[in-house]
Amino acid sequence: MSEPPTDLSGVRTGPLRAGERITLSDPKGRRNSVVLEPGKSFHTTKGGISHDELIGGPEGVVVRSVGGTEFLAMRPLLNEFSVTMPRGAAVVYPKDAAQIVVAADIFPGARVVEAGVGSGALSLYLLRAVGPTGRLWSYERREDFATIAQRNVTGFLGGDHPAWEVRVGDLVQTLGPEPVDRVVLDMLAPWECVEAVAGVLEPGGVVCCYVATTTQLGRTVDTFRAHGSFTEPEATETTVRGWHAEGLAIRPAHASTGHTGFLVTTRRLAPGVQAPQRKRRPAAGAYGADYTGPRPRNIAPHPADADPEPAG
């Protein structure tokens, strides 16, 4: 087996070792994930590549298949591994993981709660950010997803991370009493957890919610506003567009990574402190008669919600 990195960051240096995962890229940029095993071969339509030719050598080399096609051999970066690893649930893509780490201000030594561990992609980024001196409690309702996530994380890191604990169960029902600095919610209904996380989040702490639809976005923002113990939520979306640059041909790439999700970020106020009244009122009809979500405290009830006047 491959020797794990000493700091459990997942970063390996030195010669390629048996048991290590590498990426083989062909001339068209297509990538193949391979675990090196003595005596084995990676087979392609252009012929096989012997693992023994790579084991013991440096990364960043070019190997030639039996059919003559050249492949570049590199250790996978975390962003490459996270989008190709085995999945139980959809993964948080690198562009959103990067935004979460920055928007939630995840720092070395931070105490972080993550809910919705999925396949473990975001957990890897969070563990790198908190380091061995921090703490990451990852909550997952489904035990099969939790098992896949643990396998992915330990496989990439090369061992168990001392800062990580996976808890199977509903966050609201099983959230521990430990005070935390940051909360990251990647789930269908993060608004159901607002009261629970408010009870453990330190004043000034950050909550970052990752949601997929505008309906989830609106419900999450309104719930934080209605709770009153958080700053005005900030909602964002990130898109990434590549560029083609060859000689005088400089243009946007044909493909881009568009919508994958929205981020809602807010901070915890001190106990007993209410958020200041919003200066800008919402547009007329924003909270109509058919609106069933939480109504911010500075928004008057819709006339249709009022009790009917007594007859006579």
User: Which domains does the chain possess?
Assistant: 21-76 (3.10.330.20), 80-267 (3.40.50.150)
Q: What's the pLDDT at 274?
A: 85
Binding-site residue ranges for S-adenosyl-L-methionine: 119-122, 140, 170, 186
* CA–CA gap between residue 87 and residue 120 (Å, rounded): 9
Q: State how far Cα 176 lies from the chain centre.
A: 21
pLDDT for 190 beyond 50: yes
The residue-averaged pLDDT of 279-306 equals: 63
Which residues are documented as binding site? Answer: 119-122, 140, 170, 186
* Segment 115-125 mean pLDDT: 94
Alpha-carbon distance of 178 to 91, in angstroms, equals 27
pLDDT exceeds cutoff 70 at 3:
no
Burial 112-131 (b: 16+ CB within 10 A, else e): bbbbbbbbbbbbbbbbbbbb
Q: How confident is residue 5, by pLDDT bands cut at 50, 70 and 90? A: low
Q: What is the pLDDT of residue 86?
A: 81
% of the chain with per-residue pLDDT over 70: 88
Look at residue 250 and tell me whether its pLDDT is greater than 80.
Answer: yes
- Quote the CA–CA distance of 213 and 221 in Å, as a whole number: 12
pLDDT of residue 10: 78
| C-alpha–C-alpha distance, residues 14 and 57, integer Å | 8
Q: What is this structure's pTM?
A: 0.83
pLDDT at 20: 87
Helix, strand, coil proportions of the chain in percent (round to 5)?
25, 30, 45
Cα–Cα distance, 252 to 239 (Å, whole number): 13
CB 206 within 8 A of CB 265: yes
- Whole-angstrom distance, CA of residue 76 vs CA of residue 85: 11
Best CA proximity match to 123, nearest among 102, 149, 98, 160: 149
Q: Could you give the percent of the chain with pLDDT greater than 90?
A: 61
